Structure 1
Amino acid sequence: MAEPGYAPGLVEIARGWARRLANTKGVNLTDSELEALLLEFAADARAPVEAAREAATRRFTGLYSESPIGVVLADPEAKILDVNPAFTQLLGYGTDDLAGEPLAGLAATDDDADTIRSGIDSLRATGRSRRRERADLEHAQDGPIRTQVTIAALSGDTPGTLYPVLMVEDVGELTLLREALRKQNVQDALTGLPNAGSFVNKLETTLAAGGDDRLALVYLDIDGFRIVNDGLGPGAGDAVLRHVATKLATVFDRHDAFVARLSGDGFAVLLHGRLETTDVVDLVEEAMTELAEPVYVEGRGIGVSLSAGIVVADAPTADHEDLHRAAEITLHRAKENGRAQWMLYEPELDRADRRRYSIGAAIGGAIENGEFELEYEPTVKLDGSDEIAVVNAVPRWNHPEHGALGPRDFYPLADLTGMAPALGRLLLTQAMSEAAAWYREFAEAPDLCVRLPTRLAIDPNLVGIVRGELARTQLPPGKLRVCTDAMALLDPRGEVLETLSVLSELQVKITLAVSGAADLELVHTHRLPVGFVILSGPLVEALAADGAESDGARRHLGTLVERARELGVRRVGAEGVRNTEHAARLREIGVVAGRGKLFGDAMSGDEISSLIARRR
């Protein structure tokens, strides 16, 4: 192959031009003199060309030698002439090992050899400058290596002559990385199960396939997993997750099920075929039984139980979003009903749950949009004076879809969604503002009683909130009663006992809602600064009945009133007073005040103000 920049016959060319010029009229130089001059001119002209050629050669040589990509140079017959250092490092062969060998001989398999030969033939036929192919090449010692081969060519001296060149890159690590990323996208790294994305794809694919088969969706959660994770550390939690994954895969894989880890401690199972609901339930119970035995982590036996929501549907009529939501709601119902059990999807319960959850999800927006308002239920003395002893603030939600909703409809949901503190602050702010206005107008205005939602009752900021509202509204602390119940007192999340003590020191009155003897004993157990007790629940309702039921309620309620007096609580009231006879029975056992249907419906703040004015 001729060197770049080579100029053949330069002396012969100068000699020919010298002879021609010597015979030209006006030229007085001899052939030899002209030849010398022409050669001198040619040397001057050739100098920069030679310098450029040498620079180009150095650049090419440097690029060839320093390139991180393996390069193989071959002759027109595709026989190897030379290889660069990167190629030697990649495949372990030097020029001496390969000189004269065919390029296709580098391939690890016959198919890869055919790929290289066809690539070279294609270059010769089409004149394309390069072609990229995947091929396994044989390493000198380590066997096949997955590579990306670029088949290119350099032009030869003769038109149409090509010198093949292979440029070789190791893509083995890249292939491994891509495979790892693919697995990461479809597989849960901890358990090895398919992940949530894979599960959704599988569900959609199964539904798209159609057919007459049925489909079962099972969502499972580990009960109390947070206790394991927080108590024994993430390592123990991971061990439990892997244990559960293995057990679920063992139980369900025998039935061609698709088992996945969704997130955290949540798993899902998809079954498809000629299914009976009882078969699916049997499998879930089998999985629960398998997991009943403790798993041992660093010598500790950790008990594992699952809650499960089961949905069985006809595949042609199912929608993946509806199935997902139905399984989730059914699982939530199972956990709410005591955990460690399965629940089967029921349309009626599902509709009720969806209504409930839709209400809970909208609480924040309702607060923002002013959909909540306060009503007041008067608590009237039962001594015949008809005097209002206290008014109880009751929040109402004017729901745009479901109409007027009371506290029982949204307080538990506000607690679940974290909106209870905001709702409680709204309740305190508005109620204390209106009570302060009544007190400024009427010195004999009744006390205000606010029943706190559990989440606000245990809020460590409750004292600060109440103190701030007392300062803002100028309502005397003695005119405010804060009412709570056993659920809040026993909640482990807050410091409600200390909070009630501090509020009592501020002269705020503490009221306890009681439905049985156990609730009342909390006053003694925790030395609560309770000034008032409100009786409620089945016993109060039973007292309104006739016969033995009323007699039994009278005995139990009488015992509660007597015990309250022994604990220093002299004022016992009751809610749910139905009629005058009911009120009389309550008065006979020592109840001093009551509220309910007998004393009219709940009123607005303005109506309470008017009522106070009339009874002044």
Structure 2
Amino acid sequence: MARPDGTRLSPGELEDVLTKVAQEAAGAAPRAAASRFGALFSRSPIGMVLADQDGEIVEVNVAMTKFLGRPANDLRGREIADLGFAERDAETLRAGLAELATTGADHYRERIELAHSDGASVWAEVTLTYLPGDRPGSVFPMLMAVDENELHALQETFRRQSVGDPLTGLSNALSFHTKLEAAFGAGARDQVALIYLDIDGFRVINDGLGPGVADQVLRGVAGKLTNAFAAHDPLIARLSGDGFAVLLRGELTRGEVIGMVEAAMDELNEPIYLGEHGVGVSVSAGIVVQDVSVGGHEEIQRAAELALHRAKEAGRAQWMLFDPEADARDRARFRLGAELAGALENGQFKLHYFPVVRLDDHNDVAAVAARLRWHHPELGALSTRDFGPLAEATGLIPQLGKWVVSEVIATAARWREAFGSRAPGVSLPLPRRMAADPDLVRLVRTQLDRHDLPAEVLSLRTDSDTIVDEDGDLQESLAVLAELGAKPLLAVRGSADLELIARHALPVRQVVLGRTVVAPFAEDKPDAAAIRHLDHLMTRAAELNLRVGAAGIRSAEEAARLHEFGVLAGYGPFAGSATQDEIEEFLRNLLG
């Protein structure tokens, strides 16, 4: 049906027109109105039924028979409420008719399900109204139904998309967080367990086998998690690309929840077969179990994230239970991490210097080792052991490393100017990310050229872990730096580290024994294993024509014992340390 301007009426507008015409049929011009209503009733695209005063259906139009899949004779004689699919729908129709009768309203409109002939339901927006009869006070019920199936299906799709993950069928992050918050609402009791899980090395699957296989793996993991926790009425969600969460409620114990997680992890360890590929996955899990009266939804989420992070740090493929004491330590550590960038900007980082002396003559300074210290305004001087991993995690290592290289070379240039060729060389350690930085060679060369300093004064120390890091270009960088004249040093923990020099053709001529090697020689009588270890290491170093030094020497006696094995030089508490001003004064007194 169209308006005078040619546009079509909406279903709601058409219902209003039909109602008005039907009511006019009993008004001042009944014959003309009745004719108009009869035409509209029979031709209307909206399903319509008319009932007698007792509420039994007496007329059904063609649209209604098509909509419900029932012939008109099958509907006549039924009550209007019988059109409802379920009892709740029938009750809605009865309530609507009763409301019209008691309030005198023009119509009653509601969306309900009507019964279809195939036993299923159809969604409809129904409008109920009472038509005046030809006798005063008489009224006749009429129902009009607009097909809402497409709209309802669309709304259901939107609803599922808003609360569900389309790939796995689990809840999505938004829905999960809403329900987690509700679990801590008023009246909540007992315990809750929140489990965060991440697939270990998921990038390998995605990059190695393609996103299609990776999606199938995610669906497989979702199915296994659903099965593993099915007996405990869980809420399971996919929170991110390869991150999942499980929420359990009720009377729970930590041991019980840990048992569930371990069973789930065992199930997930079984390969997921996708065609010819048997894809094995492992997960890391962070677990929190607590009373709902302790904290809230934000606190438990943070706790689960921290527990998961600690599980991954511990080696992955394992679970970690949230530990409040570890959390307190992590908070302090993360606070330091957040302060790192500002500390560099505010000049809180300083270089400390350790004279590297000959072990047979402690007054003969062979070089000076530079080490970075963070002079924290509250915690005092912090070594790289305290803040290095945080600098690595926050991505500040390259920035710190460039600052250190620049400062060390500038300092070496001042010594060269002050003391000439007698000035000692300076060594500094290269953190892994700094060592692997492709701009390392350019940075060193630029700073040397800037200060007109020969590369021979600079020693750069790395370790075996960095050497074998496949993501870096350290081996090539060391070769170029050695060609410039710089001296690569290798920190070693055993003879296996020495083998890297020959295996990778490293331009290393000096090695430095780490504290784990030299510590046993702080005792008057080192144990036999330590002696064999050092003896074997020194023998192999001699075969490779390497000069050997040591770090972290605590006393003159320890230095003497190491010298007996052939260690030439070293540094540590026995030789002292100094700030930049102090080391320059020390050198001035030593070199004149």
Q: If the length of structure 1 is used for normalisation, what is the TM-score?
A: 0.78
Q: 1:90 to 1:540 in 2, by over 3 A?
A: farther
Q: 1:587 to 1:111 in 2, by over 3 A?
A: same
* In structure 1, distance between residues paired with 2:370 and 2:518: 21
* In structure 2, distance between residues paired with 1:371 and 1:169: 74
Q: Using the TM superposition, give the Cα deviation of residue 577 of structure 1 relative to its aligned residue in structure 2, in angstroms.
A: 1.0
Partner of residue 572, structure 1: 548
* In structure 2, distance between residues paired with 1:556 and 1:278: 44
Where 2:545 maps in the other structure, the secondary structure is coil
Where 2:233 maps in the other structure, the secondary structure is coil
Query: In percent, how many aligned pairs have the same letter?
Result: 45
Q: 1:96 to 1:533 in 2, by over 3 A?
A: closer
The match for 1:561 among 504, 522, 538 is 538
Partner of residue 497, structure 1: 475
Q: Using the TM superposition, give the Cα deviation of residue 406 of structure 1 relative to its aligned residue in structure 2, in angstroms.
A: 0.8
Partner of residue 88, structure 1: 45
The residue type equivalent to 2:300 in the other structure is: L
Is residue 585 of structure 2 the alignment partner of residue 610 of structure 1? Answer: yes
Is residue 334 of structure 2 the alignment partner of residue 357 of structure 1? Answer: yes
Partner of residue 226, structure 1: 203
* In structure 2, distance between residues paired with 1:430 and 1:579: 30
* In structure 2, distance between residues paired with 1:336 and 1:250: 28
The match for 1:524 among 481, 502, 510 is 502
Is residue 381 of structure 2 the alignment partner of residue 434 of structure 1? Answer: no
Asked if the contact 2:47–2:63 (Cα under 8 Å) also holds between the matched residues in 1, the reply is no
Q: 1:467 to 1:95 in 2, by over 3 A?
A: same
Asked if the contact 1:119–1:151 (Cα under 8 Å) also holds between the matched residues in 2, the reply is no
Q: 1:557 to 1:118 in 2, by over 3 A?
A: same
The residue type equivalent to 1:614 in the other structure is: N
Is residue 193 of structure 2 the alignment partner of residue 216 of structure 1? Answer: yes
Q: Using the TM superposition, give the Cα deviation of residue 86 of structure 1 relative to its aligned residue in structure 2, in angstroms.
A: 11
Is residue 574 of structure 2 the alignment partner of residue 598 of structure 1? Answer: yes
Is residue 312 of structure 2 the alignment partner of residue 306 of structure 1? Answer: no
* In structure 1, distance between residues paired with 2:8 and 2:389: 72
The match for 2:22 among 75, 86, 89 is 75
| Deviation string, structure 1 residues 233-269 (Cα, Å, up to 9, x no partner) | 1122122211121111112120223222221222222
Where 1:75 maps in the other structure, the secondary structure is helix
Q: 1:513 to 1:143 in 2, by over 3 A?
A: closer
* In structure 2, distance between residues paired with 1:230 and 1:193: 24
Q: 1:83 to 1:498 in 2, by over 3 A?
A: farther
Using the TM superposition, name which of 415-424 and 197-206 deviates more: 197-206
Partner of residue 406, structure 1: 383
Q: 1:578 to 1:147 in 2, by over 3 A?
A: same
Is residue 117 of structure 2 the alignment partner of residue 174 of structure 1? Answer: no
Q: If the length of structure 2 is used for normalisation, what is the TM-score?
A: 0.81
Give the alignment of 1:12-51 within 5 angstroms.
none
Is residue 244 of structure 2 the alignment partner of residue 279 of structure 1? Answer: no
The residue type equivalent to 1:523 in the other structure is: I
Using the TM superposition, name which of 76-85 and 183-192 deviates more: 76-85
**Structure of greater Rg:** 1
Query: Would you say how many aligned residue pairs link Structure 1 and Structure 2?
Result: 545
Q: 1:461 to 1:135 in 2, by over 3 A?
A: same
The residue type equivalent to 2:167 in the other structure is: L
Using the TM superposition, name which of 269-278 and 84-93 deviates more: 84-93
Where 1:494 maps in the other structure, the secondary structure is coil
* In structure 2, distance between residues paired with 1:266 and 1:151: 50
Where 1:442 maps in the other structure, the secondary structure is helix
Is residue 458 of structure 2 the alignment partner of residue 485 of structure 1? Answer: no
Partner of residue 44, structure 1: none
Where 2:239 maps in the other structure, the secondary structure is strand
Q: 1:217 to 1:378 in 2, by over 3 A?
A: same
Partner of residue 367, structure 1: 344
Give the alignment of 1:114-513 within 5 angstroms.
125=104, 133-134=110-111, 146-148=123-125, 171-209=148-186, 213-384=190-361, 386-443=363-420, 444-513=422-491
Q: Using the TM superposition, give the Cα deviation of residue 116 of structure 1 relative to its aligned residue in structure 2, in angstroms.
A: 8.1
* In structure 1, distance between residues paired with 2:240 and 2:431: 31
Q: Using the TM superposition, give the Cα deviation of residue 289 of structure 1 relative to its aligned residue in structure 2, in angstroms.
A: 1.7
Structure 2: 5+ residue runs without aligned partners? 27-33, 49-60, 67-71, 85-89, 131-140
* In structure 2, distance between residues paired with 1:211 and 1:467: 65
Q: 1:84 to 1:474 in 2, by over 3 A?
A: farther
Q: Using the TM superposition, give the Cα deviation of residue 510 of structure 1 relative to its aligned residue in structure 2, in angstroms.
A: 0.6
Q: Using the TM superposition, give the Cα deviation of residue 117 of structure 1 relative to its aligned residue in structure 2, in angstroms.
A: 6.4
Partner of residue 586, structure 1: 562
Q: 1:247 to 1:612 in 2, by over 3 A?
A: same
| Deviation string, structure 1 residues 511-564 (Cα, Å, up to 9, x no partner) | 111111111111011010013211113220011212251x54333223323322
Q: 1:604 to 1:81 in 2, by over 3 A?
A: farther
Where 2:413 maps in the other structure, the secondary structure is helix
Partner of residue 134, structure 2: none
Using the TM superposition, name which of 430-439 and 362-371 deviates more: 362-371
Structure 1: 5+ residue runs without aligned partners? 1-57, 154-163
The residue type equivalent to 1:605 in the other structure is: Q
* In structure 1, distance between residues paired with 2:119 and 2:459: 84
Asked if the contact 1:66–1:85 (Cα under 8 Å) also holds between the matched residues in 2, the reply is no
Q: 1:545 to 1:418 in 2, by over 3 A?
A: same
Asked if the contact 2:455–2:485 (Cα under 8 Å) also holds between the matched residues in 1, the reply is yes
Partner of residue 38, structure 1: none
Q: 1:60 to 1:212 in 2, by over 3 A?
A: closer
* In structure 1, distance between residues paired with 2:150 and 2:263: 43
Q: 1:423 to 1:581 in 2, by over 3 A?
A: same
| Deviation string, structure 1 residues 182-234 (Cα, Å, up to 9, x no partner) | 22232222211222233323332222355662332222222222211111111
Asked if the contact 2:520–2:526 (Cα under 8 Å) also holds between the matched residues in 1, the reply is no
Partner of residue 4, structure 1: none
* In structure 2, distance between residues paired with 1:553 and 1:59: 99
How large is the Cα RMSD of the aligned pairs?
3.8
Partner of residue 46, structure 1: none
Using the TM superposition, name which of 210-219 and 334-343 deviates more: 210-219
Where 1:264 maps in the other structure, the secondary structure is coil
Where 1:316 maps in the other structure, the secondary structure is coil
Where 1:386 maps in the other structure, the secondary structure is strand
Asked if the contact 1:215–1:315 (Cα under 8 Å) also holds between the matched residues in 2, the reply is yes
Asked if the contact 2:3–2:9 (Cα under 8 Å) also holds between the matched residues in 1, the reply is no
